[in-house]
Structure 1
Amino acid sequence: MRTGKKVCIWIASIVGVLVVILFAAGMYFFHVAEVRAPKSFINSTPMAKSNPAYAYRESFSKLKKQTWYQTTPGGLKLDAWYVPAAKTTNKTAVIAHGFDGNKEKMAEYGEMFHRLGYNVLIPDDRAAGASQGNLIGYGWTDRKDYVRWINQVIQKNGDSNIIMFGVSMGGATTMMTSGEKLPSNVKAFIEDCGYDNVYNETAYQAGELYNLPGFPLVNIVSAISKVRAGYSYFEASSVKQLHKNKRPMFFIHGAKDDFVPTKMVYKNYAATKGPKELWIVKGAKHAKSFETNPAVYQAKVATFLAKYDK
């Protein structure tokens, strides 16, 4: 009996230690994944002048910008740039940035839509740029912020045709927003290299960056996120939101994307219920499709919008 009791105590002790270790690891990786702080695994090297997108970024930086704000139901003050089109128009592009990004890093896309004759609104998501907040929303908490940005465009500009565009996490934000109740002013969506859901993306990155399996660590981080940020990684799903979308969607993904695997775009594309187009950009890595050939990228976007934003 004593031997059996000792074995039970020993097993309970081992289990207890493992639980403590897993929880500590979960807290560490939650901080890496969601807490506002510099991310060492994200390339923050300034864009080189030789980059094909550099001229777009420089042109946009010289445009006069208005600063718009919104306050979330939780009391966070969010910041955005608004740039009116060169000629008066009712068309506005709302642009969502990526993980560890901000409105400045979306300048080349802002310039692209400016050249296409659109007003441009580029928000800083919560926990990014000049916006308040400490927890990154992966598009899930952000999707309702973008609904409010869209409504603000209508309130300020009146009759509006609105399209939404995003890259990487911004692409996922765009897809997640598409499943919300939106005004009829929203005509179409364009997403570039967004993930299918947060769990799959973080599990993939656990393997790529740390050589760790998704289970059980990402599940623990997801549970911590549910308590701290209000959402689990399973519910934060582009695919589930796309099932509710009936508006046109243009899907763009680099053929050589090894950060958000290219295979994810096929799940996203299959999920949406509206008119859809897919462009796999040969040779392009993650979020590099525009840089591969800005003129072709802009032409593809223009062709899509000519069909659906009339």
Structure 2
Amino acid sequence: MKKHINKLSAIQKVAAGIGGAVVVLTSATDFFAGNYLVNYAIGRGGDGGNRTVSDDADANIEAQKSADAETIINDAKKQMGLSAALFEEAHPAKDITILSNDNLNLYGAYYKNEAAASDHLWAIVIHGYRCDHNSMTEFSQHYYENGYQVVAPDLRACGKSEGNYVGMGWLDRLDIISWINWIIEQDPDAQIVLHGVSMGAATVMMTSGETLPENVKVFVEDCGYTSTWEIFANELKLRFNLPEFPLMQTASLIASNKAGYDFKEASSLTAVSKCEKPMLFIHGTADDFIPYSMMNELYEAKPGTNKQMLTAKGATHANSLYLLGESYWDTVFDFINSYIK
């Protein structure tokens, strides 16, 4: 009987050893995969901007796409690009820098509008994921031509700004507050609009949940996401056909240690629920990057009646402007002018 017990004990020890080795191996694999995801998605040199999705993309989104819409978008991009280039040539931006709360040098392009200085109208236009201020030139141009002083920042870890990790809007919200304060130093009577696209829209929304100076009047978000967690989990499925558990949990912990934030706290949805100032929500129905359904979630989360939605039927990601053309700007300025005196 004693020999039988000893045999069982030996078997149990071997089994426990094998089980422990499996756990260690699994944990190590999970850690390396999570670390790779962090570097890929938010590391400054990461490849997250090169997007290829699996063949089983949402059929509902695919059905929203049309050749006619794509033709309109492509033609508009060419025309607006030429116009923006002429604008840049006629009104070259001034280079400005500020220091972030964590001592990063942040770059901005400042389009100083001398003729409209007495109107005290200012716009901060905020670019998307893996882009820089140059991607917002069409936006800078329209605000400038409508009497605004315009600041187009490079978000941290983008363009000419310092930083090792992309902020996904969460770290950037504090940087935008620093830009707001810079504007108020130049013009204490400034009336400020924040307008962002994609990650820039998430930045706008995350900023909207903070306590802001009275100078900030209106927010415009174009195709922003509900949270960093949701958009990364969605992309994990579309790009790699992987479930969110356990990789997202591990990556979020690693991001918290390396970049200073976790993916769940970076929530536009939570921030918008605290926003009392006016906000315009814009989204394309054929967006296969940030789902169109997120706009309604965000709209419903924002309290009050000082909000509006603009749907671009058939627009793919960040292309509502190009599909809608002047009607995009008619809606934007009609909304803004309802709240700026």
**TM-score bracket relative to the smaller structure:** over 0.9
Amino acid at match of 2:135: K
Amino acid at match of 1:81: A
Amino acid at match of 1:4: Q
Matched-pair contact (CA < 8 Å) for 1:52–1:291: no
Structure 2 counterpart of 1:30, from 26, 32, 38: 38
When the two structures are aligned, how many residues end up with a matched partner? 307
Q: Name 2:317's counterpart in structure 1.
A: 286
1:181 aligned onto 2:211: yes
CA distance in 1 between partners of 2:75 and 2:26 (Å): 47
- Structure richer in helix, relative to its length: 2
Q: Name 2:143's counterpart in structure 1.
A: 113
For residues 292-307 of structure 1, the aligned pairs below 5 Å read 292-307=323-338
1:122 aligned onto 2:152: yes
CA distance in 2 between partners of 1:203 and 1:227 (Å): 19
1:3 aligned onto 2:20: no
1:66 aligned onto 2:94: yes
CA distance in 1 between partners of 2:254 and 2:224 (Å): 23
CA distance in 1 between partners of 2:77 and 2:284 (Å): 20
SS in 2 for 1:22: helix
Amino acid at match of 1:74: D
Q: TM-score of the superposition, structure 2-length normalised?
A: 0.87
What is the deviation of 1:42? 3.5
For residues 1-310 of structure 1, the aligned pairs below 5 Å read 1-37=9-45, 39=47, 41-42=49-50, 51-62=78-89, 63-85=91-113, 86-88=115-117, 89-274=119-304, 275-310=306-341
SS in 2 for 1:250: strand
SS in 1 for 2:219: strand
Which of 1 and 2 has greater Rg? 2
Matched-pair contact (CA < 8 Å) for 2:101–2:175: no
Structure 1 gaps, min length 5: none
What is the deviation of 1:196? 0.2
What is the deviation of 1:39? 2.8
Given the superposition, is the C-alpha separation of residues 19 and 143 from structure 1 closer, same or farther in structure 2, using an over 3 Å criterion? same
The structure whose RCO (Cα within 8 Å, separation 6+) is larger is: 2
Given the superposition, is the C-alpha separation of residues 122 and 32 from structure 1 closer, same or farther in structure 2, using an over 3 Å criterion? same
What is the deviation of 1:67? 1.6
Q: TM-score of the superposition, structure 1-length normalised?
A: 0.95
What is the deviation of 1:291? 1.1
CA distance in 2 between partners of 1:273 and 1:175 (Å): 13
Identity %: 35
CA distance in 2 between partners of 1:147 and 1:6 (Å): 58
What is the deviation of 1:41? 4.1
Matched-pair contact (CA < 8 Å) for 1:103–1:129: yes
SS in 2 for 1:53: helix
Give the superposed CA RMSD.
Answer: 1.6
SS in 2 for 1:159: coil
Given the superposition, is the C-alpha separation of residues 168 and 56 from structure 1 closer, same or farther in structure 2, using an over 3 Å criterion? farther
Matched-pair contact (CA < 8 Å) for 2:227–2:263: yes
